[in-house]
Structure 1
Amino acid sequence: MDYHKSAQAIYDALGGSANINSLTHCMTRLRFKLKDETQVDDARVKEIAGVMGVNHQAGQYQIIIGNDVSNYYQELVKLGVGNSMTADSETTDTAPSEEHESWFNRFANFISACMSPLIPALIGGGMIKVLVILLPLLGWLNPKGSTYAFLTIFGDAPFYFLPIMLAYTSAKYFKVSPMLAVTVAGIMLHPNFAAMVKAGKAVTLMGLPVTLANYSSSVIPILLMVWVMKYLEQIVDRFCPNSMKSILKPLIIIFVAGTLALVLVGPLGTFAGKLLSDIILFVQSKANWLAMPLMAAFMPLIVMTGMHWAFAPIFLAASTAHPDSLILPAMLAANIGQGAAALAVAFKTKNKSIRQVASAASISALVAGVTEPALYGVTLKYKKPLYASMIAGAITGLFMGLVNLKSFAFAVPSLVSLPQFVSSTNSQNLVNAVIVLVASFIITFVLAYIFGIDEAPAAAQTAGTTTSSASMDQTAPATSTAPTIVPGTTNIYAPMAGQLVALEQVPDDTFAKKVLGDGCAIIPSEGNIYAPFDGEVLTIFPTKHALGLRSDTGVELLIHVGLETVNLKGEPFEVMVQDHARIKRGQLLLKADLEAIKAHGCEIITPVVITNTTEFDEITAAEPQAIQPEQVAICCVKK
């Protein structure tokens, strides 16, 4: 497949930069925000190689690609489409709706959205800091020379001015004037203020005591300050006369926000960051043998939520004077484990497509320490490889806790950045890091290979179905064990009362074109969803909008309540069963508030899809009719 050619064709068909505002993607779709969707010829887009269909939904122009979506996305980024996404939509577009998301999800999204655009700068600076450690040890750089001094500046710059970069990304997230936020960060880092801090003499601002804190390389203070600025700007906009706003608004914002930053918010953020660090380090000091195994084992899940950035005050400050003996060592074990698990999947699988994805993800994790492809594309998807890496993390974490492994510079731990563990006073530290790396790789690889993966999702993908995370709207249920298909006829009863229609009538190409499998759809008249057969619950998606079920005869069924209902974050739904629970036909599984779904502008039509369609010789849906849960909706035949 020529991804570049197809991406260029998509770019041209959508009107190029003149019509494309931003681009994101889920596991199967490119999701564009266009200035004018009417300019786009859907028929032309559908003819492009690799495009499976298009969909207009939730203000997005969605192009259905399938499992190769990331390759198309990367090519579109090269054409300039992704530039707006990497800075803006990771902040502005992904700012969560406070009405529907939990506090924890909002906080995790906020941290990830603000820190993600900074990763290239932090990685680059971190690798230079590694060189500054390594080159003098090899005798290739004079630590007293000017080149050493300049390289130190290069490596320190992204970290010293981290508050300024965070001011920009968090301002985008909160829709605060970016340059005003950057100015406030500049106040906190100003050389004259830094000199006051160094002098250590008590100072006041208009009689208010100023806490002498060093804000370089800090994270929490500026994030708190920009959050406060969101409300400050709203107050100024409300009361400031329009005729004077261009002059008064920046004056008031800089003065008030600068004062709050130095007197109140900044110190609070500093204390909060120090408290977090002190708590973690206290636990580590009392039970390092326990803290390290837990941190290393659960690091993939911590990274998945973005919560590793909450420990930024600890690992960003890693240096010869203040080594990190917790986060970065744990990430070494976790990153290598993710790479090894993905490599084991590549060796184990018989599916060429899975092998390609897993191989690429393995290289990314092992060489660069970038684990997202392995985590989201392989280990989290098949679960057993994830368990293998977590077990290896716990084992190697125990060793790290006993030997007190330390990192002397911030860099994303990987094969390339291993010199971050070089110590000028303790040569055994690097040896211990190598032991952790080798042990994590071997243990994870062996366990992941023994555990294996369930090939059912892979088979479904090969046949044209798609398995993805619950973050997207169209999702096939995960399979915990390979299904046993019982020969004969299986009747699937209607899971809800309403009007049964053909699957082709669903206003979404992923379902209408049976990308996920064959079946039917129901326009519900009431919100109760019942078990359509005897079997088990495979998956209850976190957003509660979809259920994955499996019958005792091996039919795997996806019940997707409404369209684009993933965006409702579970609010209109009440789940009545648990994951992996046994179910009996007619048992109440889920309650949906249909009026609430419609009030949010979502369709209530509910696709009922057999995701392992290829395992059956014949699938027949009932004729369109009013239907009740005691009536058969679909018949599956296996000869």
Structure 2
Amino acid sequence: MSNYEKLANEIIENVGGLTNIDSVTNCMTRLRFGLKDNTKVNEDGLKATPGVQGTVYKGGQFQVIIGTDVSNVSDEIRKKGNFSDSITEDNSENKGIINKVLGTITSIFQPIIPAICGAGMLRALLALLVFFEWLNPEDQTYQLLNLLADSAFYFLPVILAITSAYRFKANPYYAAVLGAMLIHPTFTAMVGEGTAINFAGLPVKAISYGSAVIPPILIVLVMSYVEKFAKKISPNAVKIFLVPLIVFLITAPLAWIIIGPMGGILGDMLLVVFEFLNNQARWVIPVLMGAFTPFFVMTGMHYSFMPVQLAQYATLGYGTLLGPGMLASNLSQAGSSLAIGLKTKNKVLKQTALSSSATALFGITEPALYGVTLKLKTPLWIVVFSGGVAGLWAGLTNMRTYASATAGILALPVYVTEDMSNVLNAVICIVIAFVLSFVLAVFFVKVDSSETVEESDEIDKNIDTTTDRTIFAAEINQTNIEVKSPVSGNIIPNNEIQDDVFRNQIMGNTIAVDPIEGEFYAPFDAEVVSFFPTKHAIGLKSTTGIELLIHIGIDTVELDGDGFHSDIKVGDQVKKGDHLISVDINLVKEKGYSMITPIVVTNTQEFTDVVSLPEKKNVSNSDTIMLAFS
């Protein structure tokens, strides 16, 4: 079983099982679930799962933050069941209208974003090739590539009709037909002629629906109700042709006469708003987006702006809503995270900050947001300020994107214009955001106390000769928090852990014990916040704030609880030294599994430092194996 499959199994278990999953999709770093019953989710269990960085419920979706490997986990989950790729309607009773609307918009647009971005980058690449005179616009190679890039936008009504059908639980093939009729060459020619169009004597407004966003969504919404009606009244013997016939004959006229024009009116209203902002206050949107993108990302609202952005492209030929402001914000995340990574002496934080800074440079900011700036708080406000300042530059210089792309340094081609001034302004925006956030983080973020760092170094130098670890820890610093070993055994090097997540300390500071007996005890006074049904992993939260994961064995989830015996449950309060679980070590080993037990401080970054005792030492359940400095 692969690591991705194991992680998928644990996530499925903690979201309520396969039967509770209605749909699942993913973005750059998150799994996005449509669940039948959100009350069945075990959030504490998810947060304690190695490989899960966090969870959030926004916009009608339950989201599990994984990181850049999310697509692999998503693929494994889809293999387990016949799930929709689009988030369906949330059935929870307490879901508000705003969440419903945001959830609908997000689930319709999120699946098409990769295609739109890919086509946008192809457009940008072609613009660069023409600018440097490496490709002639009259060349058929250019024309073929250009039509490929344009297809994603020209046929947008069809694509959106399909994703809308999944959202509204309608037939996607009926929806595709209705979307296609809006851009059929005959209808397009009728609009182009400028003569009156009518259907059965009723006027049809001559509107060009190429790249239309709102009309296909509204049409499919209406179609979903017509389809239900058609299925209800059609005899089974003739449903195969009668249902689509009824759907088309009712929905199409409504689309031509009422729904399409309504969408056109909304588009005209958006155009008026765009023109006002561009002429009177063009700095407003980039400043707001540059400052508040982190909060939009946290709530999932950034996907909800996509229809407006696409409407900008359709009406104006360029975009100002997302690209410039998000470029400013994302590069601010990169600069702030880099500064923290260079400053900190905490190995886990350093690794997280440096790697997330690199991904933020390319427009993927969730690792930086959740792993660094949000947790340390001050860097987040630095990102807000720096993003707003860089966004002000973007607005004052009238920065524009001419195609959709992930807002990072590789997106510069979407700013290409004939005189390249737009690209130069984008480069300056990047420099302002990155440098300003870096400098502010260097001067105003305190990631380590120098006194604590010196004490930590002293521990590393002297701990080998210390036998009474409890006394030693008490003499060092009164602000340290002790973590006792939950089991007697031998401390082993992390590089001997046969699991990438624990070996690389992705979840937090990790120490591993190879047990010599099967009795596990509470390492401190705590609450049991998670306990897997397979009993192989226990999550504890101490009264002093430490969140600890005790993962008994490697791959032991596959034993399905065989050999594990415990009466504890989530919510129990335990005292230091209380018995937690008994494990039949011999049975586990006979079945071919390792008993090496990773012990992880999953909230490492909330402490100044977390120090592990040296490797290859024998410990009992009364010995201190970690010190956390607050």
Match of 1:439 in 2: 432
SS in 2 for 1:517: strand
Say if 2:243 is the partner of 1:249.
yes
Return the index of the structure with the highest Cα Rg.
2
Match of 1:193 in 2: 187
Q: Is the contact made by 2:156 and 2:213 (CA closer than 8 Å) also made in structure 1? A: yes
Q: Is the contact made by 1:188 and 1:215 (CA closer than 8 Å) also made in structure 2? A: yes
In the TM superposition, residue 418 of structure 1 has moved relative to its aligned partner by 0.7
CA deviations on 1:353-397 (whole Å, 9 max, x unpaired) are 333333333323312x23333334433444332222221122122
In the TM superposition, residue 75 of structure 1 has moved relative to its aligned partner by 7.5
In the TM superposition, residue 120 of structure 1 has moved relative to its aligned partner by 1.6
Matched AA of 2:331:
I
CA distance in 2 between partners of 1:609 and 1:408 (Å): 59
Match of 1:530 in 2: none
CA distance in 2 between partners of 1:118 and 1:282 (Å): 29
CA deviations on 1:147-170 (whole Å, 9 max, x unpaired) are 111121121111111222222222
CA distance in 2 between partners of 1:180 and 1:300 (Å): 38
Q: Which range is displaced more, 441-450 or 128-137? A: 441-450
Map of 1:47-62 to 2, 5 A cutoff?
A: 57=40
In the TM superposition, residue 13 of structure 1 has moved relative to its aligned partner by 11
SS in 1 for 2:392: helix
Matched AA of 1:222:
P
**Match for residue 230 of structure 1 among 224, 227, 230:** 224
Say if 2:422 is the partner of 1:429.
yes
Matched AA of 1:345:
I
In the TM superposition, residue 121 of structure 1 has moved relative to its aligned partner by 0.8
Q: Is the contact made by 2:336 and 2:379 (CA closer than 8 Å) also made in structure 1? A: yes
Match of 2:120 in 1: 126
What is the TM-score with the length of structure 2 in the denominator? 0.63
CA distance in 1 between partners of 2:539 and 2:448 (Å): 18
In the TM superposition, residue 448 of structure 1 has moved relative to its aligned partner by 3.1
Say if 2:96 is the partner of 1:102.
yes
Say if 2:160 is the partner of 1:163.
no
Q: Is the contact made by 1:132 and 1:148 (CA closer than 8 Å) also made in structure 2? A: yes
**Match for residue 6 of structure 1 among 3, 24, 33:** 3
Matched AA of 1:434:
V
Against the structure 1 CA distance between its residues 245 and 64, is the aligned structure 2 distance closer, same or farther, given a 3 Å change threshold?
A: same
Matched AA of 1:153:
L
SS in 1 for 2:135: coil
In the TM superposition, residue 249 of structure 1 has moved relative to its aligned partner by 0.9
Against the structure 1 CA distance between its residues 13 and 128, is the aligned structure 2 distance closer, same or farther, given a 3 Å change threshold?
A: closer
Against the structure 1 CA distance between its residues 226 and 352, is the aligned structure 2 distance closer, same or farther, given a 3 Å change threshold?
A: farther
**Match for residue 151 of structure 1 among 141, 145, 149:** 145
Matched AA of 1:139:
E
Say if 2:329 is the partner of 1:334.
yes
Map of 1:178-577 to 2, 5 A cutoff?
A: 178-304=172-298, 305-310=300-305, 312-315=307-310, 318=313, 322-367=317-362, 369-424=363-418, 426-452=419-445, 514-518=538-542, 555-556=544-545
In the TM superposition, residue 63 of structure 1 has moved relative to its aligned partner by 7.0
Matched AA of 1:111:
I
Match of 1:466 in 2: none
CA distance in 1 between partners of 2:104 and 2:114 (Å): 18
CA deviations on 1:71-99 (whole Å, 9 max, x unpaired) are 6964744865447899825423xx32362
In the TM superposition, residue 306 of structure 1 has moved relative to its aligned partner by 2.7
Against the structure 1 CA distance between its residues 250 and 430, is the aligned structure 2 distance closer, same or farther, given a 3 Å change threshold?
A: same
Match of 1:574 in 2: none
Match of 1:88 in 2: 84
SS in 2 for 1:180: helix
Match of 1:618 in 2: none
Q: Which range is displaced more, 318-327 or 358-367? A: 318-327
SS in 2 for 1:111: helix
Q: Is the contact made by 1:503 and 1:511 (CA closer than 8 Å) also made in structure 2? A: no
In the TM superposition, residue 294 of structure 1 has moved relative to its aligned partner by 2.2
In the TM superposition, residue 114 of structure 1 has moved relative to its aligned partner by 1.5
CA distance in 1 between partners of 2:527 and 2:215 (Å): 52
SS in 2 for 1:91: coil
**Match for residue 66 of structure 1 among 49, 57, 60:** 49
Matched AA of 1:173:
R
In the TM superposition, residue 504 of structure 1 has moved relative to its aligned partner by 5.5
Q: Which range is displaced more, 356-365 or 203-212? A: 356-365
CA distance in 1 between partners of 2:343 and 2:217 (Å): 45
Matched AA of 1:260:
L
Matched AA of 1:140:
W
CA distance in 2 between partners of 1:221 and 1:396 (Å): 35
Against the structure 1 CA distance between its residues 339 and 384, is the aligned structure 2 distance closer, same or farther, given a 3 Å change threshold?
A: same
In the TM superposition, residue 204 of structure 1 has moved relative to its aligned partner by 0.9
SS in 2 for 1:410: coil
In the TM superposition, residue 271 of structure 1 has moved relative to its aligned partner by 2.0
Matched AA of 2:49:
G
CA distance in 1 between partners of 2:33 and 2:314 (Å): 42
Matched AA of 1:427:
M
Against the structure 1 CA distance between its residues 503 and 12, is the aligned structure 2 distance closer, same or farther, given a 3 Å change threshold?
A: closer
Match of 1:142 in 2: 136
SS in 2 for 1:288: coil
CA distance in 2 between partners of 1:606 and 1:13 (Å): 20
In the TM superposition, residue 261 of structure 1 has moved relative to its aligned partner by 1.8
Aligned length: 467
Note the residue ranges of structure 1 that are not aligned, 5 or more in a row.
35-55, 460-483, 488-500, 520-554, 559-603, 616-637
CA distance in 1 between partners of 2:400 and 2:529 (Å): 60
In the TM superposition, residue 31 of structure 1 has moved relative to its aligned partner by 11
Q: Is the contact made by 2:211 and 2:314 (CA closer than 8 Å) also made in structure 1? A: no
Q: Is the contact made by 1:504 and 1:512 (CA closer than 8 Å) also made in structure 2? A: no
Matched AA of 2:251:
A
In the TM superposition, residue 308 of structure 1 has moved relative to its aligned partner by 5.0
CA distance in 2 between partners of 1:209 and 1:354 (Å): 65
CA distance in 1 between partners of 2:253 and 2:360 (Å): 44
Matched AA of 1:450:
F
In the TM superposition, residue 224 of structure 1 has moved relative to its aligned partner by 1.7
